[in-house]
Structure 1
Amino acid sequence: MTIPPTQGPTPPPLDVDEHDEHEHHPRPRRKGIYILPNLFTLAALFGGFYAIVMAMNGQFEQAAYGIFCAAVLDSLDGRVARLTNTQSAFGEQMDSLSDMVSFGAAPALIVYEWALKGLGKLGWIAAFVYCSGAALRLARFNTNIGVVDKRFFQGLPSPAAAALVVGLIWVVTDLGESARTLPWMVWVAFTFTLYAGLTMVTNVPFYSFKDVSFKRTVPFIVIVAIALGIAVINLHPAGVLFGIFVVYGLSGYGVFAWRKLKGKPVSVISTSTDEPDEAGLHR
């Protein structure tokens, strides 16, 4: 008499289930706290805080150093997190809060102390427009991060806006002048502050340089150009860096006009067919 084999559930192939699970249930972003990228973020935050303290003491050139150092450190923390695979939800929130202090509140307070204080209500209103523009820009960046074209920023990024405002102060201070010795400079600072604050909340596209890969091989001439660029910056750091950020601060409007002339979409937000309410984001 032949005994039939025991019937039981046949386990599915492990490799198929594992792939399906990863495809349909992506692993959530880690909630731990990593030391290395957050050290860069804290250092950037310190740069903004240091700049505020220096401005309160009337040392505006030192305040400019603090903001520009914060901008460099802010550009590194995300890259370090990606290179070391230490991205986390905590790091994202920490980075946004640091940016609000270093590139939102700090530049507004510095330019107010340097020039806008003498304008009375107009002065603090301009400073508040800049500060609120930075807050709105950061909030919009965090909510639209999944639908924005990675090659462009939606509006002027806050570090570049801070460099526009504080760079002006750095150049004038480096020349041995001030808003007191140049009374018309008060209105120049007023214009720069409003321009930077309002441009942060526009939909104008600014190139993000995120598609530039540092792992690719480049022609030798590129290295020569970088060396020449460093040499030019060292001739007059304040003037050259300020000039670079002025050009960048205007470049978005150039891209906007060029796309309009070519009939291309000017919005950097991807059109979603699943969310009809997103139509207002593309105007």
Structure 2
Amino acid sequence: MNDEGQPYRLTRLPRGLTLRALVPNAITVAALCSGLTGIRFGIVGNWEKAVIAVILAGLLDGIDGRIARLLRAQSRFGAELDSLADSLSFGMAPALILFLWSLQDLPRFGWFAALGLAICCALRLARFNAQIDVQEQPHKSAGFLTGVPAPVGAGLALLPLYLWLASGRDEFREPVAVAIWVAVIAFLMISNLATLSWTSLRPRRNIRLEMLALAGLIFAALLTEPWWTLAVLCAGYLVLMPYGVFSYAKIRRQRAARMAAALTDGASAQAD
């Protein structure tokens, strides 16, 4: 009761987003800003900063989802925001950077190659969103991805730029070769190829110290020779792609054999 003898009224505090929910979304927005800033650096011809901005966007994109799961702050809004940021940072940004750097010297076809990269990135992300609630996903259930993921695709598309920055040779800036390369990467992004994910990479325990040493050496190489190191990492990923395809084919054969054995056992049990 208050001083006038009236009962107190309980009022609800205004509801809003908690800091826990804002953190992963803020990281996603930071990734979006980083990718778009890469376009700004590309417009003024600062190619090194343009590449670094796209790579930074990829690093931020790699941690926002993990932080959301760690904080239990996953939301549909965050998933949609992440896809929108990925489309701009890994589709539009590298496409415009490559166009300004090389593809604009190839009349007509250069712009179509850049458009293809941006469109295929958007299509890949749309396919990913459409399959979020789909229960039966053979690649995902086996620990693989379908096609080259958007951040990796952006990094691979920029490979000619890495080589040009590392060597200074204009052969890597040849617009016809760059256009063909960009078209290949765009196709790989929307392909149905089974590609490796972090969950499918499981090195044996007896080489874990060697893996840690390799990670340290790669980090040191990125600090001293970033462009050659990025080029080598891209080459390593391309070399591992056939391994991912063969590994998934092996898992699929094993699943088919187990299913056939189960059907045979079921038929035998019914016959008995």
What TM-score do the two structures reach when normalised by structure 1? 0.73
Aligned to 1:81: 68
User: Structure 1, residues 114-138: CA drift from partner, whole Å, max 9, x if none?
Assistant: 1111111111111111111101100
Q: Does 1:201 align with 2:190?
A: yes
Q: Percent identity?
A: 30
For residue 54 of structure 1, the aligned residue among 41, 47, 62 is 41
User: Structure 1, residues 6-60: CA drift from partner, whole Å, max 9, x if none?
Assistant: xxxxxxxxxxxxxxxxxxxxxxxxx967210011101110111101111111111
For residue 218 of structure 2, the aligned residue among 221, 229, 239 is 229
Aligned to 1:133: 120
1:172 positional shift: 0.7
Distance in 1, Cα, partners of 2:72 & 2:102: 44
Aligned to 2:156: 164
Aligned to 1:121: 108
Q: Does 1:96 align with 2:83?
A: yes
CA contact 2:144–2:194 (8 Å) conserved in 1: yes
- The residue identity in structure 2 corresponding to 1:161 is G
Residue pairs, 1:121-270, within 5 angstroms: 121-145=108-132, 146=134, 147-148=136-137, 149=140, 151-177=143-169, 181-182=170-171, 185-210=174-199, 219-257=208-246, 264=252
* SS of match in other structure, 1:210: helix
Distance in 1, Cα, partners of 2:223 & 2:42: 25
Judged with a 3 Å threshold, the aligned counterparts in structure 2 of structure 1 residues 228 and 132 are, in CA distance, closer, same or farther, namely: same
CA contact 1:164–1:192 (8 Å) conserved in 2: no
- The residue identity in structure 2 corresponding to 1:187 is V
User: Structure 1, residues 135-161: CA drift from partner, whole Å, max 9, x if none?
Assistant: 110011111234431521100111111
Aligned to 1:107: 94
Q: Which has the higher helix share?
A: 2
Distance in 2, Cα, partners of 1:126 & 1:79: 33
Distance in 2, Cα, partners of 1:49 & 1:263: 40
* SS of match in other structure, 1:62: helix
Aligned to 1:42: 29
What TM-score do the two structures reach when normalised by structure 2? 0.75
Unpaired segments ≥5 residues, structure 2? 1-15, 255-272
